[in-house]
Chains A and B, each alone.
Chain A
């Protein structure tokens, strides 16, 4: 049954009924709810990703699990959902652990059924108890949302190892029956190989990819400045900041410390009388949250930030973005620029500067991209740490960056299999089960002893799941919360040359790909395009239909049209409450034409309106004559026409009055 998505939205979220869902939001919800497809929604920054899963989750009923990389973002969403009468649960490292455990037990026992469960990727990847509880009630879990899904893919610069375990999590809770899962993957920026990777990972077909074709953020003026001399770049930065004094400014610098790092630049800015602060990934979640709040409330004008200032931060009125370091790809550039002018619908605009030198390009290529993958030494070290012996091992990996970075490569190459998540010891459990009690009377040492040594015929997953079940049913009382380990099966004692070569080759392929994306970005920058052409170039790259590239001007209705004169016409139509569509397809036999404006009168009649901006130019005239002939042949009409003159407003107003008269008749 086809739903009226907007109506459903207003019913479920009456406090938000003034909000009109975009086409993209509607398409995404339909894809999940009506068509039942796993869906990848690619929506530009500020496009309202959250509402998609809010509405989809509520329409599907049951529980929606949202995997979200940022605690601040989770908290913000949870708060908003609670305000809209939805129940939520948050599971992450900084929330109260005991309370989380109690809630999970209630969920597993059916006593608590939150609409939305927010979980961090780290928690999802490492907490066996959480997974077990979810699996127990898997029929109630109707939707799994993966926010910032580009982090899943190793083909991108934002790959996070824990994200790679989402698929296993889904497989485990649905016992490998993927047809039961509905997955909604959300992102704003993603390159073609990442799309392919993610679609394979989450079984998303082409029909399930929902993408905006209005990706262009023309309300942001793009300025690209190439500096020949590196020192001039800093001088230019201060000039820009001075020029935009008092405006909310975000400066991207991909360096935390030392010369020209975020900390130093913020200090200099403060010395120069600005209200500035820095932001980077080494700060605690609370520190970051505090800065975001103060920036939002205008206690700071300028933030010098690494790309940690990114995902999910929603500040409406950033007016200036400056890239002091060159981004790695068009996707990253446009995503970061897109932090500005989130109030575009209310008329907000912004300016974005990119300052770069050829030296920056060389450094980016040689160091940032190529060094972001594990080296041979790191792989060897990590494997030594992981592989105690061939066979089952416990892995306490969560604070070891080397292991976290390398583990996905070992898993991909078949060197290591992750058997299950679990815990390491039965200490601090009050156990009533006789079998376990008996086994434990011989030792209370880690599960390795119980299972691996003394009972090798037992699948560790079974005993772990049995323990979880007993915790849920109350047969086991915990005196202390369970720790988190992975139980892995190590296939080879040492890293063979063959496996090393296999892994290094896969890394080389990814480096090469990222270098390609970066080189293409550099190529675009070097073209020295003006803002509109640069937007078009980016839109072309991001897959916008070529035909739609010229639509750069925004109208009051929210359309994008090709010229300022068409903006005038569209806005006048909108002001006069005349229903119209811009460039709506019109079939003429075996051909298609696209009238500039198709106006729908109340009596059902259509009026076509063409604005002939280039009349008098040979090619244009030729095309116009062909179009006119099609109008006459198939619709027996001559469209309304306006021309490019200084009095286009008056001409359009007059035409609209005539149309209104027709409408009245």
Chain B
């Protein structure tokens, strides 16, 4: 999509069933090659065989024969480590996404903003602290100017949404979802669940994901980039480049589309979960459904990491004052 001054949407065609099926088809076609590397490199920890051969050649040694861990063992290990990493700071999010505490904070919204969100919410705290990234200066400014009452309201709405969603979850958790509407997440893309400039698509999804990783996918920057690469960067039906990226022709910048609707993203995320689960079944590895989007997140981060140089090249043009995160 190309960006004008305040466009916050994608083309209508992106919501159409035929279009979604086409996108899904390309993702499925490319899934295997990334998954193979995902396992072979143990989620990017180890070099692939080709890379090792290249290194050995460069150093001037001959590689001895090897014994390898089985793919099943590797997949199991990746999942354990991803969950372990996920759980590290989860407690902090659960303290924020907590109805009782949020009710108390209603009387002290300034405290909620300046202490709880600013200092105790890891993703917001680290974004604010990242002084080397000039592009985040705008975020810092927006945060400082944001109305504390609105921030509190949005977080409360997100939490309530999550609670209500839990009540419905059992009815469809074992169903195979075939359309984004079935996920019933469109509301999350509306104003009641957004504090523009501060709690946008990325941060809101992260709060939900940390609360319930079996229900809500993490719509991170890397996840959107990953979808672009999984779709081979091709344009499918849209008039203005891929729906997963945002090109600002005036500023000549390219970023992941941080306006990408959560409901659509979630549909692609659940389909990636199906693919990952299928692989788990093939490899006879138990898939942790209660952490399904943790594994999805690990996989999408891996895909993005494989293209890190390219992503860095795109984002290196983003300057101070440009919107970069949390729109």
Contacts and interface: CB of A to CB of B under 8 A. Distances in A.
A564 interface: no
Given A528-B67, A541-B61, A520 B56 contact: yes
A523 interface: yes
Interface string A536-563: 1100110100100000000000000000
Interface in A220-275: 228-230
Contacts of A526: 42, 46, 69
Contact of A536 (B42, B60, B64, B80): B64
Contact of A519 (B43, B47, B77): B47
B184 interface: no
A362 interface: yes
Q: Give the interface size class of chain A.
A: 20 to 34
Interface in B76-125: 77, 80-81, 84-85
Nearest to B84: A229
A587 B241 CA distance: 72
Nearest to B78: A358
A516 B52 CA distance: 9
Contacts of B59: 191-192, 516-517, 520, 541
B177 to A, nearest CB: 31
Nearest to A522: B46
B131 interface: no
A536 B63 CA distance: 11
A659 to B, nearest CB: 37
B67 A546 contact: no
A529 B42 CA distance: 18
A526 to B, nearest CB: 5
A385 B60 CA distance: 41
Nearest to A361: B45
A527 interface: yes
A546 B62 CA distance: 9
A519 B81 contact: no
A519 B55 contact: yes
Contacts of B46: 519, 522-523, 526
Interface string A165-198: 0000000000000000000000000011000000
Contacts of A541: 59, 61
Interface in A341-366: 358-359, 361-362
Given A362-B45, A522-B45, A523-B52, A537 B69 contact: no
B66 interface: yes
Contacts of A536: 64
Given A228-B81, A520-B55, A522-B46, A543 B61 contact: yes
A245 to B, nearest CB: 31
Nearest to B66: A527
A45 to B, nearest CB: 21
A362 B84 CA distance: 15
A543 B60 CA distance: 9
B6 interface: no
Interface string A127-157: 0000000000000000000000000000000
B79 to A, nearest CB: 10
Interface string B40-55: 0011011100011001
Contacts of A517: 59
A543 B81 CA distance: 35
B58 interface: yes
A228 B77 contact: yes
B69 A228 contact: no
B129 to A, nearest CB: 17
Nearest to B88: A230
Interface in A303-334: none
A540 B51 contact: no
B69 A528 contact: yes
Given A358-B42, A522-B45, A230 B55 contact: no
A361 B81 CA distance: 13
Nearest to B76: A228
Contacts of A361: 45
A181 to B, nearest CB: 28
B47 A523 contact: yes
A516 B62 contact: no
A361 B41 CA distance: 13
A520 B60 contact: no
Contact of B60 (A192, A358, A519): A192
A516 B69 contact: no
Contacts of A523: 46-47, 52
Contact of B62 (A358, A519, A527, A540): A540
Contacts of A230: 84
Nearest to A193: B59
A652 B161 CA distance: 83
Contacts of B62: 540, 546
A590 B223 CA distance: 64
Interface in A489-545: 513, 516-517, 519-520, 522-523, 526-529, 536-537, 540-541, 543
A540 B66 CA distance: 13
B205 to A, nearest CB: 24
A540 B81 CA distance: 32
Contacts of A229: 80, 84
Contacts of A522: 45-47
Nearest to B61: A541
B45 to A, nearest CB: 5
A491 to B, nearest CB: 30
Contacts of A543: 61
A566 B79 CA distance: 47
A358 B81 contact: yes
A192 to B, nearest CB: 5
Contacts of A529: 67
A330 B77 CA distance: 24
Contacts of A528: 67, 69
A59 B209 CA distance: 74
B66 A516 contact: no
Nearest to A357: B81
B88 to A, nearest CB: 9
Given A516-B55, A520-B55, A540 B64 contact: yes
Contact of A358 (B45, B56, B58): B45
Nearest to A358: B45
Contact of A520 (B42, B52, B66): B52
Contact of A540 (B55, B61, B68): B61
Contacts of A359: 81, 85
Contacts of A358: 42-43, 45, 77, 81
Given A358-B77, A361-B45, 6 more contacts: A228-B81, A229-B80, A513-B58, A519-B52, A527-B68, A540-B61
13 contacts: A228-B81, A359-B81, A516-B58, A519-B46, A519-B52, A520-B56, A523-B47, A523-B52, A527-B67, A527-B68, A528-B69, A540-B61, A541-B59
